[in-house]
Structure 1
Amino acid sequence: METVATRLCGRRCNPLSAAIPKDASIPDVRQPAQILTHCYTSIQYRFDSEVIRIGGSGFLRKIAIMEQRITIHIVGGNSRSRAEQSRLILALGHHAEVYSDLIELIDRPPRSGVIIASDDVLERGISTLLDDLADAGIWTPLVAAKPHPEVEEVVKAIQAGALDFLELPLSEAEVQRMVAHVHSDGGRHAEARRRLIDARRRISSLSPREREVLDWLTEGCSNKAIARNLEISPRTVEIHRANMMDKLGANHAADAVRLRLDARMKRANDEENLPEEFDAPRAGASTKR
């Protein structure tokens, strides 16, 4: 049976005592504004091994805030800009962590919430910044921020992997919109980043030749085709492929290809530093025998 506390907190509970009007409606936690309009008499429930007392709208307000509260990591810009951002974030009921630069962020890597990066941290581009974070094992969603961003900048940032793009100075509406975005897409975004980092870690253990075999395998080539392109024997390809599968922890070729795609890495023989979608392996390009 669903109880009031189950509806409020989404956890199993056993009512120890309750005094609530029979005709009182039960608010939905997905509608915080509705929760704040309700006021119950004292209700005591046992959550797992913890006994708590719900005493009127004050506790309900805390539930609503806790449902939405996130940690926002602020990096880049001058101290005044970071202070202004943190004050606004704290005033809206969220937790703010401030870092002077990327080095400090990497030294104290965040494991939850969202990162807001601005100014000097964005100078080398979103893709490079995300690569730096990935190399440091940080998969927390990234939000870029700058004064008066151009539409083209925003589009490129999102395409590169940023979760969102904010305009500085931050406004209450911008922060609330970002928080809603984090709640709706942040988990999925962070999981994709985690898979990317894990895939890159595994692929980095491969030898140059094993990387080449993986690149050609991702193109759908058979062992014989890979042998022709790399100018080695099919038997040698089989040996490299077996070693590659073992290092990646892949049971099937599809698992290895999926890791390669998750990693979003350029190919081992990419000499022109072209975008990945344009730098297909070239026959005879390999110099390793």
Structure 2
Amino acid sequence: MASRAQIEGARVQADGLGTIYVIDDDGEVRTALSFLLRSMNAHSWPFAGGRDFLDGLDGLSPGLVLLDMRMPDPDGLGVLRELRRRNIDWPVIAITGHGDVKLAVNAMKLGAFDFLEKPIEDEDLGSVLERGFAELCRRRAARERMDAARSRLDTLTAREIFVLKAIVEGKANKEIASAADISVRTVEMHRQNLIKKLGVRNTAEAAACAVEAGLVASEYERPAELDD
């Protein structure tokens, strides 16, 4: 059985943070997991297969996913691939058969947060749920920071975005001016403007905002917008 500390930990983490989606084509397993989750005061939502879950995904709130890997149409790996394609970063706990190491490794490569082996022990479930909800909270906070940073970047012009990308890459004003075919003085003006618009104190904080928003250029190219 799960220890009192683990059950309480999972209960505290679950309170108000989200639902646990149980995806398994075995009705007895779904029922047993749902019963155990209710004992932890966690809200569970069972699905009879990966297709049912994916079909209803757009209407679901962020939560943890308990995902059986051995299911038909699609199997667990197929569900993980689709979650990745849709950019859904909810923590997924893969459920595998005993000793199915290769499948567990493949699930982790596709982004699974952790895995459990059948038959699932109460203690193992309580532990992974506690860590899973902590990870869900961390990812949610990171997503909120990214969204906030992107909203701030939306206030910048194309030229200012170009200059900001160059700042992130460590380019000097002279290099930026040459690449954009503008004067160094104009680059300095764009630096000051973007600092003011982003509400930061210096270019280091502006660069941090850009990184948090995911604005990292793989190549340093002069965009066509600069010719306008």
TM bin, normalised by shorter chain, reads 0.5 to 0.7
**Matching of residues 173-188 of structure 1 within 5 Å:** 173-182=123-132, 188=138
Partner of 2:164: 214
Secondary structure at 1:288's aligned position in 2? helix
TM-score by length of 2: 0.64
- CA distance in structure 2 between the partners assigned to 1:217 and 1:223 by the alignment: 9
Whichever residue aligns with residue 65 of structure 2, its letter is I
Q: Secondary structure at the match of 1:244?
A: helix
Match for 1:233 among 183, 205, 216? 183
Identity %: 24
8 Å CA contact 1:74–1:86 kept in 2: the answer is no
Q: Across the two proteins, how many residue pairs are aligned to each other?
A: 194
Distance in 1 between residues matched to 2:199 and 2:119, nearest whole Å: 45
Equivalent position of 2:149 in the other structure? 199
**Over residues 186-215 of structure 1, what are the superposed CA-to-partner deviations in whole Å (9 max), with x where a residue is unaligned?**
655544343233223322333332222111
How far apart are the structure 1 equivalents of 2:9 and 2:104?
33
In structure 2, how many angstroms separate the alpha carbons of the residues matched to 1:177 and 1:185?
13
1:151 aligns with 2:88: no
Cα distance in structure 1, aligned partners of 2:94 and 2:160 = 42
Q: After the TM superposition, which residues 245-264 of structure 1 pair with which residues of structure 2 at under 5 Å, given as runs? A: 245-264=195-214
Distance 1:211 1:67, change over 3 A: same
User: What is the CA-CA distance between 1:236 and the residue it aligns to?
Assistant: 2.9
Q: Greater shift after overlay, 169-178 or 237-246?
A: 169-178
Aligned to 1:95: 42
Separation (CA, whole Å) in 1 of partners of 2:158 and 2:117 = 44
Structure 1 segments (4+ residues) deviating >6 Å: 78-82
Q: Residues 235-282 of structure 1: CA distance to partner in whole angstroms, max 9, x if unpaired?
A: 332333333223322111111111122223453xxxxxxxxxxx2424
Instruction: State the distance in 2 between where 1:67 and 1:146 align.
Output: 21
1:89–1:96 contact (8 Å) kept in structure 2: yes
Q: State which structure, 1 or 2, has the greater radius of gyration over its C-alpha atoms.
A: 1
**CA RMSD across the alignment:** 3.7
Q: 5+ residue gaps in structure 2? A: 47-52, 68-75, 97-102
* Cα distance change of structure 1 residues 222 and 145 upon mapping to structure 2, 3 Å threshold: same
Q: Counterpart in 2 of 1:124?
A: 82
With CA pairs under 8 Å and 6+ residues apart, which has the higher RCO, 1 or 2?
2
- Residue identity matched to 1:124: E
What is the letter of the counterpart of residue 160 of structure 2?
E
Compute the displacement of 1:66 (Å).
Answer: 4.7
TM-score with structure 1 length normalisation?
0.53
SS in 1 for 2:87: helix
1:19-38 paired onto structure 2 within 5 Å: 32=4
C-alpha contact (below 8 Å) 1:145/1:165 kept by paired residues = yes
Sort the Cα spacing of 1:128 and 1:234 in 2 relative to 1 into closer, same or farther, 3 A: farther
Give ranges in structure 1 of 5+ residues lacking alignment.
Answer: 1-30, 34-63, 134-141, 268-278
Which residue does 1:74 correspond to in 2?
A: 20
The structure-2 alpha-carbon separation of the partners of 1:252 and 1:146, relative to structure 1 and needing over 3 Å to count, comes to: same
C-alpha deviation, 1:77, in angstroms: 4.6
